[in-house]
Amino acid sequence: MEKRNVYMDYSATTPLKGEVLDAMMPYLKENYGNPSSIYSKGIESKEAIKQSRTKISRLIGSKSDEIYFTSSGSEADNWAIFGALKGNGKHIVTSKIEHPAILNTLSYLETKGYDVTYLDVNESGLVNPDDLEKAIRDDTALVTIMMANNEIGTIQPIQKLVKLAHDKNVLFHSDAVQALGNIPVDVNKLGVDMMSFSAHKIYGPKGIGALYIKEGIEIENFVYGGGQENGKRAGTENVPAIIGFGKAAELAMNCLKEHVCHCLDLRNYLADELYAAVFDSHVNGTMLDRLPGNLNVSFDYAEGEAILLMLDYMGISVSTGSACGSSDSVPSHVLTAIGVPESRIHGTIRFSIGCFTTKDDVDYVVKAVKEVTKKLKELSPLK
């Protein structure tokens, strides 16, 4: 089998699209003006930021002044949570399968006297709306539930969940970092009050994210200083990254349909071929409400880390349970929450497909996984 480099970890990060880099270049070179400066060179940068904001707002159906740039998706998640807590009660509702940017922020708040309810999910990874309704209390300040999960790709019924929170006058935030660019995201239709995004998951640069804050929603400032981001998040703007984010959003909007079809076709092909090639394999989560590019599979008789390293040797980049769990062996909280037994969690690989993945890539990965899992099974004392 001829060695090939295959990147199949688009949920961890995506490569920059060429058009995105081209759009950024002038702002890394000659257009270095500070957007707050009032001479031409500054105004040029300010104008460019404005256009980026508009491009992102078009992708999510918001107004452009409802977009606030942050340093990352993680910062947007932090801001949404801390910002919503200004004296509004001591209780927050979330799900058990959130990203660490949400879960670790909330566990910090628990040490500061806040009370957090972690909603269970079913074997597909879905929150039960009845559970949410029951969890909301008089002192609930915020509900935060992600739109699409980064490990198993589950897409939550956000619109329905928002309605339940709003019936009780509670703010709703959703982490849509994985959803953006991969499924339609319309903040008005969903009804969310706040939503988090990150550029490097949609073929944009790293280190730039955004928080959508619905007009009229008052949340606390996150960084104090200058007047950037409508005075709510200070710091001279990362202009090249913002331009890149805007370009990536524009491209995502233009190619969403084709992108979804491309990912779905290849993901389903990968799932079918793997199922046929590796007898002892099990797909985690549901194939219905799932991100088009996501496949999460457990292999009996093989450790995820061993599979990952052997695939890496063959030129393939994938993830175990989650990127954040890849350097230790704590079982994934997401797979635990959907009821995957611990022994099986240790043998889990996440494959995530994106716009540069080809059918030849999938064929190569299937062959490699077949070979690697066969080898590991032969060595396994469990078989």
Ligand X SMILES: *Cc1c(COP(=O)(O)O)cnc(C)c1O
Instruction: Return the range that interacts with ligand X (CB under 6 A); candidates 111-119, 197-205, 298-306, 327-335.
Output: 197-205
* Among 101, 302, 307, 372, interactor with ligand X by CB under 6 A: 101
The residue among 291, 268, 298 whose CA lies nearest residue 148 is 291
Tell me the C-alpha distance between 5 and 314, whole Å. 8
Distance, CA of 340 to chain centre: 22
Distance in Å, CB of 154 to ligand X, minimum: 11
C-beta closer to ligand X: residue 178 or 298: 178
The residues in 208-267 that bind ligand X, with binding defined as CB under 6 A, are 209
Interface with ligand X: number of residues (CB under 6 A)? 15
So which residues are the catalytic ones?
A: 324
Contact flag: residue 334 with ligand X (CB under 6 A): no
Tell me the C-alpha distance between 97 and 143, whole Å. 14
- Which residue, judged by CB position, is nearest to ligand X in the bound state? 73
C-beta closer to ligand X: residue 278 or 337: 337
Distance in Å, CB of 71 to ligand X, minimum: 8
Tell me the C-alpha distance between 201 and 210, whole Å. 12
Q: Name the residue type at position 33.
A: G
Q: Name the residue type at position 144.
A: T
The residue among 320, 81, 122 whose CA lies nearest residue 213 is 81
Distance in Å, CB of 150 to ligand X, minimum: 4
Tell me the C-alpha distance between 64 and 210, whole Å. 12
Distance in Å, CB of 279 to ligand X, minimum: 31
Tell me the C-alpha distance between 354 and 340, whole Å. 26
Distance in Å, CB of 15 to ligand X, minimum: 15
Contact 353, 11 (CB under 8 A): no
Contact flag: residue 16 with ligand X (CB under 6 A): no
Coil, strand, or helix at residue 154? strand
* Among 74, 298, 352, 357, interactor with ligand X by CB under 6 A: 74
Distance in Å, CB of 173 to ligand X, minimum: 12
* Among 60, 146, 213, 243, interactor with ligand X by CB under 6 A: 146
Q: Name the residue type at position 38.
A: I
Instruction: Return the range that interacts with ligand X (CB under 6 A); candidates 33-41, 66-74, 210-218, 275-283.
Output: 66-74
Contact flag: residue 72 with ligand X (CB under 6 A): yes
Contact flag: residue 117 with ligand X (CB under 6 A): no
Relative to beta strand 281-283, strand 91-95 is: unpaired
Contact 203, 15 (CB under 8 A): yes
Q: What is the DSSP string of 65-101?
A: GGEEEES-HHHHHHHHHHHHTSSS-SEEEEETT--HH
Tell me the C-alpha distance between 14 and 356, whole Å. 10
Contact flag: residue 73 with ligand X (CB under 6 A): yes
* Among 78, 105, 150, 319, interactor with ligand X by CB under 6 A: 150
The residues in 155-194 that bind ligand X, with binding defined as CB under 6 A, are 175, 177-178
Instruction: Return the range that interacts with ligand X (CB under 6 A); candidates 36-44, 124-132, 198-206, 370-378.
Output: 198-206
The residue among 190, 195, 193 whose CA lies nearest residue 175 is 195
Site residues, ligand X (CB under 6 A)? 72-74, 77, 99, 101, 146, 150, 175, 177-178, 198, 200-201, 209
